[in-house]
Amino acid sequence: MTTTLEQLRAGQLTGSRHLKLACGLREFPREIFDLADTLEVLDLAGNALTALPDDLPRLGKLQILFASNNPFTEMPDVLGECSQLSMVGFKSNRIRKVSGRALPPQLRWLILTDNEIETLPAQIGDCSQLQKLMLAGNRLRALPDELAACSRLELLRLAANRLSGLPAWLLRLPRLAWLAYAGNPFSEALETAAMTDTPIAGIRWDELTLEQSLGEGASGVIYRAQLMGRHERVLRAVAVKLFKGAVTSDGLPDCEMAACIRGGDHANLIPVTGKVQDHPAGTHGLVMELIDPQFRNLAGPPSLESCTRDIYDAGTRFELRSVLGIAHGIAAAASHLHQRGVMHGDLYAHNILHGGEGHALLGDFGAASFYAADDPATGIALQRLEVRAYGCLLEELLDRCDELDAHAPIAAMLIELKDRCLSEDIDSRPLFDEIAARLLALKGGR
């Protein structure tokens, strides 16, 4: 069977816009330049590359470059000369140095997860288009103040670094909506307390019988399982999530488990039954209620093009009662979490399960972070940050509701609420308890 590299060298890929090569490359194949007139996406992940050619800007249409799982030790300066490059991914390399010269002028999305970076260049503040910045699993002790100039930044991942705190300007970024910072020294005590101070049952591994896998994410694998009751000796179907232990784009699996436990019981959260004990390999895990298979994700995750906004199936529409039910349920769940000092960090439709009739469950705590109850100013700032994420969700639901014209007064109130949640005047955004109360009243008024 002919490989992609062989096809490239034989001139069979002329006109290609996308190219993926994962074949142990140690050097950049010069034949890639034969595609210079058309190539937009270049995926070199999973090779043995340590450098890129100085004439890389010859790929004049290149917009996206992936180079994850290579042994790069620094982000190549030549990237800064690529005029159309907007997305750069160097996850799981050995990068220690990021030069200001390496930042492309049109950069929207930068992925540097799981490297060895200790500092970011001040020039990051010149990236006026930056929307998404993935820095989990590095050695950062501080963020450059110049990052405050990135007013378009919407999603920031800082988990599993060495930060001693969050700078005040960070929580004033007008569009920041999705933030994760667990696994840093300043939040370690809160994460430990979430695990030790929150009552939860221990479930021995020998009480569980795993069945089929229900799904796999970056942080772990979820299985259908049977739980043998200790007293009644009756089998009960449950879901078991076994965590992988490695850093993900969002953060550390242990922090995710702590947030699930700290989240406690709520009608719009997936119930946690207990914590796995005595796993033969020492693997951490949670036992959760098995969700009815009729529940489906509201949407899919963002695409390369949409960057920070979810992708819905074509033709997805919601009745007004479903919009009100989903919107109220998720606001109530978020309010509950923030009352317990937990910020979800990834409040997105793709992390919401919908069972019809407006019943929704908020899941996936992989990006969750903790804050202290005795620091109300920080708590309110973090809540208003997450309210903007909620505003994006509400906007997406309203955009897909056909009944707004027939219910103009309710529609007007929902649109006004959405606009307040999305406001770049951060202090004018409502908090989740107000949002939930408003929506409950609207539900009752129908």
- Are 104 and 80 in contact by the 8 Å Cβ rule? The answer is yes
With tokens 């492309």, the residue in question is 104
418 labeled part of a ligand binding site: no
Quote the distance between the C-alpha of residue 155 and its chain's center: 8
Q: How many residues does the chain have?
A: 446
Residues ≥6 apart with Cβ < 8 Å to 255: 159, 182, 183, 191, 368, 369
3-state SS, residue 219: coil
Q: How far is it, in rounded angstroms, from Cα 275 to Cα 267?
A: 20
Cα distances (Å, whole numbers) of residue 287 to 34, 193, 274, 360: 53, 20, 5, 20
Q: Give which of 258, 266, 271, 273 is closest to 226, Cα–Cα.
A: 273
Element of type H or E holding 323: helix 320-339
- Are 5 and 26 in contact by the 8 Å Cβ rule? The answer is no
Indicate the burial class of 367 (C-beta count within 10 angstroms; 0-12, 13-18, 19 or more).
Answer: buried
Q: How far is it, in rounded angstroms, from Cα 206 to Cα 209?
A: 8
Q: Give which of 367, 366, 388 is closest to 432, Cα–Cα.
A: 388
Element of type H or E holding 361: strand 360-362
Q: Are strands 109-111 and 132-134 parallel, antiparallel or unpaired?
A: parallel
CA within 13 Å, CB half, 380: 10
Q: How far is it, in rounded angstroms, from Cα 424 to Cα 442?
A: 25
3-state SS, residue 144: coil
Indicate the burial class of 370 (C-beta count within 10 angstroms; 0-12, 13-18, 19 or more).
Answer: buried
CA within 13 Å, CB half, 419: 6
What's the start-to-end Cα distance of the chain, in Å? 62
Q: How far is it, in rounded angstroms, from Cα 127 to Cα 146?
A: 10
Annotated binding site for ATP: 241
Bind-site residues? 241
